[in-house]
Each structure stands twice: as C-alpha cells, then as structure tokens.
Structure 1
C-alpha cells in the first residue's frame, strides 16, 4: 500500500524505472485500464497532476470532515452478477464494498411536490403510476421503461465496436452501431414527447438530468436512458468513502511493479516517427515508454498534450472542433457536529426544481439570463455520511452534505488567471452569496439543519479546472448530445500508433461510463475482449 500511491515531489526516482505503459490521469478510466493491464503482467505508471489520486473519485478533508467530489451514488454495483460489479471487483481484487441506499434512491421535487424513485423496475413503475393515475400516463410510464431497456441492450454492441481493430470495425461497425443510434440520434425530449404529452410526467422522468449535465431538449436519449436504467435497481455508496476506489486499485497496479504518482503533471506526449514514445513532465523530465494511455479527455489530449503540428497532421484538431465541453457546476460542502441520525437525514438524494418548473430547459434558460434573481434550475443534495456505514468509525459525531447546481465557466472567467485560494475578496464575496442561496434551498426541506451547521465551503468551475485540468471546469468531459454518439473517432485507439484514450469521453458520463472506457481501452490494447475474461474470473472466484 505504501508504495502504491507516491508523490513525485518525495519520490522523483519513481520515473527512472522502465514501464510497459504510462497512463495520464488517475480518474477511474485511467486506474481501471492500468489495473487490467497490471493483471496481464504489465508494469504501469499512472501520472496524476493533483496531490490526491482518484480524479472525480477522490475525497478531500477540511476541519475534521470529508467530502466526495464526484461520486454521490452508483447503480448496479450492489448486485453481484452485474458487469459493473464484476469490473470493480476485478480491478480492486475484491476489496471494495458497497452499501445499498435502500428502497428510495432519488426524490424528484418541484416545490412541495415529491416524486420518489423506488428501486426495482416494477416498484419504480407502480409508485410513479400512483401519482399519475390517468390511463395515458400509466401507459407512458410503462413505455418509457421499455425504451430504457431497449436502448441499453443495444448499447452493448455499440460500445463493443469501439474496441475492435480498424479493419473489423470498418466491416462490422455500421451493423453493431445501427440499433443503438436509432434512439441515440434523438433528444431525450423528442423521445419522451413521442410517448406522452404530459409536461409534468416528462419533468419527473428527466429529474436526474444533472447526472449527465444536459437538459432534455439538448441531451441524447442514449445518455438519459443509460443513466436512468443504471439506477433502476437502486443506488449504492462505497463503504469507507470514495477514496477507497483509488486506494484499492492502486494496490493492484503496484503488485505488477507499477504505481500511481501524484504531483506529476504531464506537459506533452512524446511522438517519435508517428508513434507515442512516452511523456514529458511539467518539470522537463521525460519518461520513455512504448505505450501511452490518456485519461485526460479528448480535448486536453489533442489540444494541449500533443504537439500542435502532430495534432494537425493527423486531423485531430478537426475532431476536437466537433465536440463541446460539458456543463460547469458549483459544489457546496457542508459539515455538521452531529450525526446523520441525530439530524434526521436519510440516504435518498434530493433533486429540487422550481415550483411547477417541469420544463427543465426553460428553467435553465431563465437562470442563465437572470442568475441573481431566478431560482436555481436544479439543486442536487446528497447525504454521504448517511450513506456510508463506516462514516462514524472515521469521523465520529459528525455529518456532511453536498449541494450541487449548474454554473457556466464564463461567470468566473474574470478570475481565471488567479490562484486557488487567492482569487480576491470579490470572488469570495460572490461565493458566499451563492452559498447562502443554496443553504436556503436546503433549509426549506431540512429546517432542523440551520442551527447545526459548523462549516461550509464552495467550489466553482475554477476549482474543477484547477484540480482536473479541464479547460472550462467541465464535469462530464464532452457534452452528450445526439451528435456526440455518432462520432466514430470517440474510441480508445487513436490515429497515432500506441496512443490510446480512456475515460468518459470514450463512452459516456459518470463513474460507470469512465470505468467502461477503461475496460474498452484495455481490451483494445490487449486485442481481446476483457469483459468476457473478467466475468469468467470473477465468477470463478465466487464459486
């Protein structure tokens, strides 16, 4: 464990060893690809610019509290035979445990109207039908769930095609992608309006749109369906906190002689004779290596890490012009000197919208035009200390809450050339104003918390930019529009020999999507279907 995650500042000698592969970025897409390669005997070095490993799976602490920045819940992992459960089991050597969030995982709230999402397909349908008794609405709910299953079944072939060699992909790609793209090429709103004309029902069914960052009129139905289906059987939280993911996966990487190296910013990917040959760090040090995997996102990789003439020579700059960064966000992190039980906090997430605000696109447009007075278009509230059964062992007598809302990077552009924690009083004053507005939303639904708040801290897209190195502080990599899913170049293997992509840009938003990107990257590199091998090995261990 001690040698699994090292700091480059304390251990500069770590880069002097020979490695079979270098991974840029220690998010779950990079860690999973590295761990799978390690299990195949490859010695892998994972380089992370941040002082903490894990990307959006990392945690941070302040004044005796801990918050998870990217994982608020996961679906499918608590069900032992699912693909996602198998993958996490494999890359962590079975060390990760998951706590079920219970019967209700999400509450969709419009003013005082509350719609609960209950786990299990039949429960989900029946509870929503109780609140939508009209025959047409009840049929629409059933049709909606059927569509979720239809597109997610076809997604398997669509994503498998991404790992195929070029010639095989050219021959079979159209066939493998066709069924998925039939619905993926439509917006979420277009698909839902084809089954119902009830705006309230559409507003409720799309109440998790913050999980992928695009409103119904702009998002592909594919990303909506994959997220909604992902949680249909309930949500879970990692026991011991989200940092356990990087800790356990790094141990697997270390067993093959590799490690995760923090404070190690990559400045450039070295290309020699048309082949990726290693990386150059920000301090000028070079690491020569026969294989480079970038988990830094397609925009960072092609626009910032590759030499401009190389990117232009392979037409990669043209590819970047066809994608757009996803949404920025504000995160408010709260600490309380009482336990979640004492405060009466449950495990279900709150998705709070304006009263009668069933049109999410209109809510967002109103907010963007009048941010100081319009209600937040979306307020997501998570209760991590209530979800984690190990919390009181680590932080006894305390509780934490995360609150997230939408915030474009442009609002904070005036401070983009300032340093973290030193951006000036105007910045801090505005942050505090936003914090107080978000707190008022929380207190509207949990008024008992007001007298117990001990600490709060707000992050902005500048914070995300600082730690993740996304140019615009985006949360979900590139936008999940209908056009995005038609782009064939969003795949692990790039036009440059021995340079591969991993993470959510290869597949889709979120931890599950990024993990899938890692599995596909490893499959493409090893030229074999690693999903099948992982399934067999994990199942064999359980017998």
Structure 2
C-alpha cells in the first residue's frame, strides 16, 4: 500500500517534478528543486525512505545501513557542509570522530590515518621514514586530481551545444588522472609495496582494488577524509527526516511503498509515471535516482530504450561489487565496552590487495580480502539517549553475487535452511575477525544478522546487490552518457552513477541534475548563503 513518509498527504495528479527513488541523489535533487519553488513527488518502493541513508530497527537496536562516516562537514565553508545545510535548512548536525578516522590493519601491523593534511603526512612518514618524497608527492597528486574534477563534473550539467563547444577543454585535464589506475600512480612514486597497500587501504569505500580502480576515484575518497570523519547526530535517518520537511514546505511529498512500474513517454518526451498498482502521476520533469542499470533495463519502455540504444550503452560499464554486512547488537554502552570511533580496515598480511581479491573470488573460503569494522553507536553522541546500555557494530566484507544466485527469486526472510546455514557460516567467520581486534565484544552480543547481496537487491533494487552502482574503472569515467540529461526530453538521471560512489558524491549529483534542469548555477547559490 502506497503511503506517505509522514502522514496521509493530499496527492495531486500533476507535479513539477517526479523523482524515482529516495537515495541521497534523489533527496538532494528534491530539496533543491523544492527550494526553487517546485512541487515535488518522491517515489520510494521500499517501506522506508533514504536509500543507503536509511536505518532499520530490530530487537531493541537500530543500524545505519550505508552511512559510516562523512568527510568535510566540520569546516563551515566546505561545499559539502554548505550543501547539507542547504538541503536540511541547517537542521542536520554532525559529530566529529576524533583524530584517527581510519585504522589500516595489515597482519599484526596498524597504521593510523589522522585528520589534517600535515598530520596525515607526518603520521605516514613515522611508519615509512625513508618515503618522505613519495608521501609528499602522493598528497600533491590527490589534490591535483581533485582540482581537475570540478570542471569535469560541471561539464555534465551543460547543455549539449555548450558541452560541444567548451566541454572538451573541461574534461581533458581530468582524463590525465582518471585514465590511470590507482596502482599505476602509486607505483610511479614508490616501490614500497607496504606503503602502496597502506595508502590504498580505503579501497573498500569505492569497491575496487588499486590495479582496477581509477586514480580519481581513489583521490576523491582520500581527499574527502583528510580533514577527518564525522557522523550524523541522531543517526543517518535524520537526513531524510529533515529533507522531507523542506520538500513538504513547498507542497511536495515523499511516498514510501510506492513502486514505479514504468516511465510514461510520449513522442520522446517523459510526461509521467505508472505505478505498480496502476495509478498514474504526471509531471513536467521525470528524474530517476534508481541507478542507470535499473532505469534503462526496467523503467524505460522497451521501444524507447531501443530507439536510443540505451541498453547498448550499458555494455560499456560494469556493476560494482556486492557485499555482506553483519549487523551486531551488544549489551553494554559504547563507553562500557570501550568501543572506538575509528573505523578498522583489516587486510591479510604479505599479499597485495588485488591478489587477495583474486584468491577470494576463486575460493570464498580463503582469507577475506578486506574486513571493515565500524562502530556507529560510539560515533553518535545521541545514541545512548535513544538506546541506553546498548551498542552496535557493523562488519562489512566483499561477497560475490554468484554464490547466491540459487536463491534469486525467493522471498526475503524466507529463503530456506541452506541459505541460513551459509549466512551463519559467513557471520561466524566475521565474528572471529571481530573478537581478534575487539575481544571485549565476546559474550556481549545480544543479536546479529547478516545481509547478503540478495538483501541489497531486495531493498535497493540493484540487480546483483551491488553497493556502489557502477565500477569505478578508468573506462567508466570516459562514458559520456553518465550525466543528468538523457536523449529523452524532460527525463533526467541523478545519483551516484552520474558522479561516483558515496554519500557526498550522490549529494553532489543532486546539484548537477538540478543545474541541468533549471539552467541555474546552483552551487553558486548554495555557497553564497
């Protein structure tokens, strides 16, 4: 049954813009358009809004499914902080995670990533005293790559004509960095394999190891956290809650349990959407934040997709990795259990990231190539007000989708004994890793449950349970169709696929999409406030 995110709204038949999906890109697009005076309808097929920013509750606990830390929100004048303030009317508040945001653990060695560019460099230098030049050069290259990305993404918002005239100049400097893999760049500045492994220790944030990922994707993540990490006070559901208020003020609505069946296109112009229950809504603009694969494969009428060869375009990009997440609820407050705010990135010893993944893909019983542990209850100062005497931990690892294909088509929570046994086996392996690094968690766990690629598919509607949309290879950044405008009039895209993975990138996708729709310099407007 379709229902409102808050209360029974008065639904109209016509809107200024309809947005499919309620992830960060969609919500940002909706909030900005609402501030431009548009009446917006956001349609979410899941029973809760927010995409990867939503939370779920079970057995007296609450878990954030996709937000583990956000960078650049402690500086008042940063673009990301100003954007979050703009779309939430400055209601969203952030808690700083402290000096050490990430801890890279390789075998028995630990390497802290500390906030502040100079502090970061000094700390890495203390582990690798002979690598000063390489560390300095690495940080310089990260900043250089990011500097070129501004114009590259601005080009995506330009009209086709303008992009034809000036776009090439805006894109070329970016390609110098995006065409290279992370490993190519790092191995050109140092031969120290351990340093390369440490510097690329956040690759789980975008899902591709150094020999496959584009350096610009790596640089975006590294730079994003140089000033430290933060967590939304009150949990990540605060994001959708405050954006909903902004949308509502302009007469718009977020609908949940509202699945779109098809985008209605007449004479190559998007005019509305048909819902699964047959209801139809109309709008001047239709925007999909449901991911380009889902949009082109499932929501666009076959005839239109064939006319513009939309499915052929998808052949030039690949789906990102799928994953498992173990959600753990513990007895005891974060303070009592002495849980850190720092994220742990745990890797096998004496083996490169790429090799570890290759081994694992050949045999999922071999060592996990990466295990990421996050302590959300320790990061949120409001947690203990909501859940006194309780704590949570999330553990994430890569998990190939093909190991779960047998259960595709089965119902969530009713996939059978064999599936549950496989989940239990993976959960116990992840708990072993946890106890090695956080021994105090042993005997304190009240509840745990594992999400698999099928869980992600069920809730996020990504066909193979991919967490980051499209793979961030050098080839991906050369695809010109990954932008807001489509060949269909009044039909636009938003979300991580038109920018890159991550909440901050999806946030920025909303700026690019709204700039393309309104022909206004939205970022200038945001920064002026």
Q: Fold-level match, TM-score > 0.5? A: yes
Q: How does 1:142-153 map to 2 (within 5 A)?
A: 142-153=136-147
Work out the CA distance in 2 between the residues paired with 1:195 and 1:43. 52
Name 2:236's counterpart in structure 1: 242
Name 1:511's counterpart in structure 2: 503
1:303 and 1:320 in contact (8 A); partners too: no
- Structure 1: 4+ residue segments shifted above 3 A: 8-17
Work out the CA distance in 2 between the residues paired with 1:144 and 1:16. 53
Name 1:128's counterpart in structure 2: 124
Determine if the alignment matches structure 1 residue 189 to structure 2 residue 183: yes
How big is the shift at 1:18?
2.4
1:8 and 1:14 in contact (8 A); partners too: no
How big is the shift at 1:14?
4.7
SS for the counterpart of 1:77 is coil
How big is the shift at 1:12?
8.2
Q: How does 1:339-354 map to 2 (within 5 A)?
A: 339-354=333-348
Work out the CA distance in 2 between the residues paired with 1:92 and 1:133. 45
Structure 2 residue corresponding to 1:86, chosen from 76, 82, 85: 82
Name 1:291's counterpart in structure 2: 285
Mark the CA change 1:99 to 1:13 in structure 2 (over 3 Å): closer, same or farther.
closer
Name 1:272's counterpart in structure 2: 266
Name 1:33's counterpart in structure 2: 29
Mark the CA change 1:10 to 1:354 in structure 2 (over 3 Å): closer, same or farther.
closer
Work out the CA distance in 2 between the residues paired with 1:161 and 1:10. 37
Work out the CA distance in 1 between the residues paired with 2:510 and 2:321. 23
Work out the CA distance in 2 between the residues paired with 1:205 and 1:138. 13
Determine if the alignment matches structure 1 residue 72 to structure 2 residue 68: yes
SS for the counterpart of 1:276 is strand
Work out the CA distance in 1 between the residues paired with 2:215 and 2:42. 34
Structure 1 residue corresponding to 2:223, chosen from 229, 247, 254: 229
Determine if the alignment matches structure 1 residue 369 to structure 2 residue 362: yes
Structure 2 residue corresponding to 1:416, chosen from 388, 399, 408: 408
Name 2:450's counterpart in structure 1: 458
Name 1:60's counterpart in structure 2: 56
Work out the CA distance in 2 between the residues paired with 1:243 and 1:285. 28
Work out the CA distance in 2 between the residues paired with 1:184 and 1:311. 29
TM-score normalised to structure 2 length: 0.98
Work out the CA distance in 2 between the residues paired with 1:9 and 1:173. 40
1:328 and 1:407 in contact (8 A); partners too: yes
The answer for unaligned runs of 5 or more in structure 2 is none
1:492 and 1:506 in contact (8 A); partners too: yes
Work out the CA distance in 2 between the residues paired with 1:387 and 1:462. 28
Determine if the alignment matches structure 1 residue 154 to structure 2 residue 148: yes
Determine if the alignment matches structure 1 residue 434 to structure 2 residue 454: no
How big is the shift at 1:312?
1.1
SS for the counterpart of 2:263 is strand
1:8 and 1:264 in contact (8 A); partners too: no
Query: What do residues 183-242 of structure 1 show as CA deviations (whole Å, max 9, x unaligned)?
Result: 101111111111111110000000000000001111000100000100011000000000
Query: What do residues 334-368 of structure 1 show as CA deviations (whole Å, max 9, x unaligned)?
Result: 001100110011100000001223x1000011111
TM-score normalised to structure 1 length: 0.96
1:47 and 1:265 in contact (8 A); partners too: yes
How big is the shift at 1:70?
0.4
Mark the CA change 1:502 to 1:305 in structure 2 (over 3 Å): closer, same or farther.
same
How big is the shift at 1:10?
10
How big is the shift at 1:16?
3.6
Name 2:461's counterpart in structure 1: 469
Name 1:540's counterpart in structure 2: none
Work out the CA distance in 1 between the residues paired with 2:252 and 2:11. 10
1:107 and 1:351 in contact (8 A); partners too: yes
How big is the shift at 1:526?
0.5
1:277 and 1:289 in contact (8 A); partners too: yes
Work out the CA distance in 1 between the residues paired with 2:363 and 2:245. 48
SS for the counterpart of 1:454 is strand
Work out the CA distance in 1 between the residues paired with 2:329 and 2:521. 44
Query: What do residues 124-177 of structure 1 show as CA deviations (whole Å, max 9, x unaligned)?
Result: 00000001011xx22111100000000101111110110011110011111001
SS for the counterpart of 2:442 is helix
How big is the shift at 1:19?
1.0
SS for the counterpart of 2:264 is strand
The answer for unaligned runs of 5 or more in structure 1 is 1-5, 538-543
SS for the counterpart of 2:497 is coil
Paired positions, count: 528
1:339 and 1:399 in contact (8 A); partners too: yes
SS for the counterpart of 2:284 is coil
Q: CA RMSD in A?
A: 1.2
Work out the CA distance in 2 between the residues paired with 1:198 and 1:20. 56
Query: What do residues 10-69 of structure 1 show as CA deviations (whole Å, max 9, x unaligned)?
Result: 988754442111000000100000100000100000000000000000000101101000
Work out the CA distance in 1 between the residues paired with 2:389 and 2:357. 38
